């Protein structure tokens, strides 16, 4: 029983370390995914531009983590001028909701 408890605590502690960049990615937020190992959920809401998203997330996560990225309620009129590739992270899932796209 103690081994199971230490395993769970270890998994929780290592998952928390994945989001140690929380202050650095503000106003975006992150949390470890509950079911998939090496997966982090990142949410960016009410961003003023896609440039702001890139600046917040660029080089913050190593490529060995799978990122589930959600961008919502944002102004992304400059989306064509930059690339998701510039963020240098492994985006496995991308959700874009209620963004100002043209």
CATH number of the domain encompassing residue 90: 3.30.750
Q: Would 31 be classed as within a structural domain?
A: yes
Q: Would 4 be classed as within a structural domain?
A: no
Q: Would 79 be classed as within a structural domain?
A: yes
Q: Say what the pLDDT of residue 13 is.
A: 37
Q: Would 28 be classed as within a structural domain?
A: yes
Q: Would 63 be classed as within a structural domain?
A: yes
Q: Say what the pLDDT of residue 18 is.
A: 61
Q: Would 1 be classed as within a structural domain?
A: no
Q: Would 2 be classed as within a structural domain?
A: no
Distance between CA atoms of residues 20 and 18, nearest Å: 6
Q: What is the mean pLDDT of each run of 10 residues along the chain (102 residues)?
A: 42 50 86 88 95 94 92 93 92 94 78
| Statement: the pTM of the whole predicted model exceeds 0.85 | no
Q: Say what the pLDDT of residue 6 is.
A: 38
- Structure letter (DSSP) for residue 81: G
The answer to whether the beta carbons of residues 75 and 49 sit under 8 Å apart is yes
Number of structural domains the chain divides into: 1
Q: Say what the pLDDT of residue 1 is.
A: 52
Q: Say what the pLDDT of residue 9 is.
A: 38
State which residues form the domain around 29: 13-97
Q: Would 91 be classed as within a structural domain?
A: yes
């Amino acid at each position: 029983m103690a081994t199971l408890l230490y395993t769970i605590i270890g998994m929780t502690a290592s998952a928390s370390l994945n989001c140690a960049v929380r202050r650095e990615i503000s106003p975006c937020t992150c949390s470890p995914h509950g079911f998939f190992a090496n997966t982090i959920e990142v949410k960016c809401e009410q961003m003023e531009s896609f440039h702001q998203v890139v600046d917040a997330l660029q080089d913050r996560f190593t490529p060995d983590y799978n990122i589930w990225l959600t961008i919502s309620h944002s102004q992304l009129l400059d989306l064509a001028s930059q690339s998701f590739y510039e963020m240098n992270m492994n985006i496995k899932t991308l959700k874009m909701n209620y963004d100002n796209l043209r």
